A and B are shown apart, each in its own frame.
Chain A
């Protein structure tokens, strides 16, 4: 057995024992099952697997530590009310917030951060990493790292715009349908049911074949296909609000529909709608990435994560991880947003009780 394996197992067992000694039942259970799992991995795959496991565990704790410090940082710097909420937030939420912040910085300051231009050809194709090109070159010899940074701007920007559009259309019609009721509600419901009867990705492929693939079409098509989902939620949330007596009181006062929506219903629907925005953003973001991956979304030479995976996919058969980096970038952002949304949903459901 190598020194590495000995050190690794010793550390794991020691950590488990410590947890058990201090009666941290949950921590102990996690640590010891990890130890057992790594025994198995060690037996199955030898030291190389063990190293992978060690790196994974290390990464996990690094993320947890980062999340912990970031939460403390926010709790120290934010105003009192917000800080109090922050202090009770789970680590996943603060991790999510941190990741989102990093993406926002990358997107806003992309030209400053990226060492090279978005479409600038610098080296040979699939050039290995060096100090000039941190992650090596892509299939045309462009700098991977710079393109990933620009991708934050393009992919996230487009997804955000699309979600906003889908949201505007979906939530407005949803609120209108719930408030007006009657035939307006019925018609909207029918249209939405039909739109949702076709799987989104398939429908998007059909429509994009017809209207052709460019950014404007992409945004419009995806927004159209995802607005019914927003409509459903907005309709359901508002549906619960319009039956309240305070809405009846406002109606009997003679208030206009517009006042009802803006002033009485919307303030009570904000929390679930904001959470829904996060959730929808994830789905839209994944859908756009999927389309780009299929070569039908954002078109070259625009740097975009989905297309980057496709363009460099051949590298994987040589055991390279480079094509996985943009895919991981997509996954990381969706995970982060999902973590934050999960926390917000928990908060809003907790406040009701």
Chain B
């Protein structure tokens, strides 16, 4: 058609406003963007950076309550900001397509995949229904979906998440668009599934030489997918560069800090002495939700001053293990010992002191703090409840705790959670756990809802507190970077069983158990050649799901 290098999308001075409380606030402050034909650009930034909003604006689309207030968006010579809705509609689906974050929610539950797939080409008169159906099977085959002839005739809820995400990519390809917007297409997936989808997306984009905007918050993912990377922060551009040069030498401080996060790593502590009684010892624990068995003969020990990381994908039983330890889900077999003494199965039968010794920090700080209470009350309650402190003594203790988590007491004591940032809320969660003066803390995905910089701060704080107070941590996570940063010992779980366990340094060194290997090798690295190398090692047809069998 046209010259490969010719410009496809040109955005100049784009400003977008969002409405809140009957007033308009600017959320994107004048962003420029250039995309050539066949080029993949990665848009990267933390939550609130405005990357999805920009992605949708590239289709001339804004969500309800948003509007484009200034700037121009030129797609292949056509100005989108001033085009009538009808012209934009002819463009959408046909020449610019969209792949959403959650395929499960973005496929209409009432129609079969194939009906949704063929809608756009038939609507835009690019293909007949028959041609489009045949084309769909071809695309499904290229995207390595199982049973390509048949899978399209299923309903969305009959297909797994990773497959749906690929089917949605196929749907975006149905009209062979010039540009596809990928809006965090793998964020909701487990790492091993993520690989399949990443590889499929990259292949198909290569094969048809489609340009793409790849939106994500994950640097390692974008490194695999994009030719160029643009970094965004709170609706402003930070910098843009070729992927390799960006990874090798980021210029701006903010970008450097994003890169640096991954470098935090603590030395593994020496294993506890053989004769030492573990703080928490889980032995042969099994558990079930009704008839569904979710834990099967799980055993591990947690020693004073050490961190045990429990890793696994969703459904592996790692959170259930925590629920058994806290007594929320009484196990059906096995027992849990605290300093050598067996704990009652249900938390209702445990003594106040036993409850005090094991505390918990949650993933979502938003739901972990009562929104109607002041910080002083939230942290003060365990102090008053367990130690019976009142009045000035209580206030003094809460101030100490706030100092410990590096928040200024006079500033935070009287605030409510909604006035705090995500990281500050998570710190309050930590302070509440510390207020009980426990020996043992369960950290359930404590950093996965946070932006990377903030997450690092939390990890460092937890590490320092462990040093100061000789705490034992059980760290539940699916993120191996976090494991590498903070763990002393690692327990790998899959389908309710412990697959492998051991000191961190050993776990990250081959030889591994087969599943551990799959898990470890599936975590994207910051090397642009990583995915290629991995696919080569595994064999193209042998990725993800296939390798698991």
A residues adjacent to B (C-beta < 8 A): 88, 244-246, 248-255, 264, 267-268, 350, 353
Contacts and interface: CB of A to CB of B under 8 A. Distances in A.
A353 B64 CA distance: 14
Contacts of A267: 370, 372-373
Contacts of B368: 244-246, 249
Contact of A246 (B21, B369, B385): B369
Given A244-B368, A251-B347, A254-B347, 11 more contacts: A88-B21, A244-B370, A250-B381, A252-B359, A253-B355, A253-B382, A254-B385, A255-B385, A267-B373, A268-B371, A350-B21
B432 interface: yes
B371 A252 contact: no
B352 interface: yes
B326 interface: yes
A250 B355 CA distance: 11
Given A88-B22, A244-B367, A253 B436 contact: yes
Residue of B22, B371, B372 with most partner-chain A CB within 10 A: B372
B360 A252 contact: yes
B367 A249 contact: no
15 contacts: A245-B362, A245-B368, A248-B328, A249-B360, A251-B347, A252-B326, A252-B327, A252-B359, A253-B356, A253-B385, A253-B386, A254-B347, A254-B352, A264-B370, A268-B371
Contacts of B360: 248-249, 252
Interface string B261-302: 000000000000000000000000000000000000000000
A244 B371 CA distance: 11
Nearest to A265: B370
Given A88-B22, A245-B362, A245-B364, A252 B370 contact: no
A316 to B, nearest CB: 45
Interface string B329-370: 000000000000000000100101001101110101001111
Contacts of A353: 20
Contacts of A350: 21
A347 B358 CA distance: 40
Given A88-B22, A267-B370, A268-B370, A249 B432 contact: yes
A252 B355 contact: yes
Contact of A268 (B21, B358, B372, B381): B372
Interface string B76-102: 000000000000000000000000000
Residue of B22, B355, B370 with most partner-chain A CB within 10 A: B370
A246 B370 contact: yes
Q: Say what secondary structure dominates the interface of chain B.
A: mixed
B112 to A, nearest CB: 34
Contacts, number: 52
Nearest to A264: B370
Nearest to B20: A353
B193 to A, nearest CB: 27
B347 A252 contact: yes
Chain A to chain B: the 8 pairs with minimum beta-carbon distance, closest first? A267-B372, A245-B368, A245-B362, A246-B370, A254-B355, A244-B367, A245-B367, A254-B352
Contacts of A264: 370
A252 B432 contact: no
Contacts of A251: 328, 347
B426 to A, nearest CB: 12
A172 to B, nearest CB: 19
A253 B351 CA distance: 10
A245 B442 CA distance: 13
Contacts of B386: 253
A206 to B, nearest CB: 41
Contacts of A268: 370-372
Nearest to B352: A254
A84 to B, nearest CB: 10
Residue of B22, B352, B385 with most partner-chain A CB within 10 A: B385
A27 to B, nearest CB: 18
A253 B433 CA distance: 10
Contacts of B364: 245
A268 B369 CA distance: 12
A249 B358 CA distance: 11
Contacts of B371: 268
A280 B14 CA distance: 49
B386 to A, nearest CB: 8
Nearest to B347: A252
A268 B416 CA distance: 13
Nearest to B355: A254
A255 B368 CA distance: 16
A353 to B, nearest CB: 8
A251 B326 CA distance: 11
A250 B372 CA distance: 14
A210 B355 CA distance: 54
A245 B359 CA distance: 13
Contacts of B370: 244, 246, 264, 267-268
A242 to B, nearest CB: 11
Contacts of A250: 381
A83 to B, nearest CB: 15
A250 B20 CA distance: 34
Nearest to B369: A246
Contacts of A248: 328, 360
Interface in B376-417: 381-382, 385-386
A205 B20 CA distance: 49
Contacts of B350: 254
A142 to B, nearest CB: 50
Nearest to B364: A245
B367 A246 contact: yes
Interface string B412-443: 00000000000000000000100010000000
A263 to B, nearest CB: 8
A268 B370 CA distance: 8
A268 to B, nearest CB: 6
A318 to B, nearest CB: 51
Nearest to A254: B355
A9 B377 CA distance: 65
A112 B355 CA distance: 63
Given A88-B22, A245-B362, A267-B372, A252 B367 contact: no
B401 to A, nearest CB: 15
Contacts of B369: 246
Contacts of A246: 367-370
Contacts of B355: 252-254
Contacts of B21: 88, 350
Contacts of A249: 360, 362, 368, 432
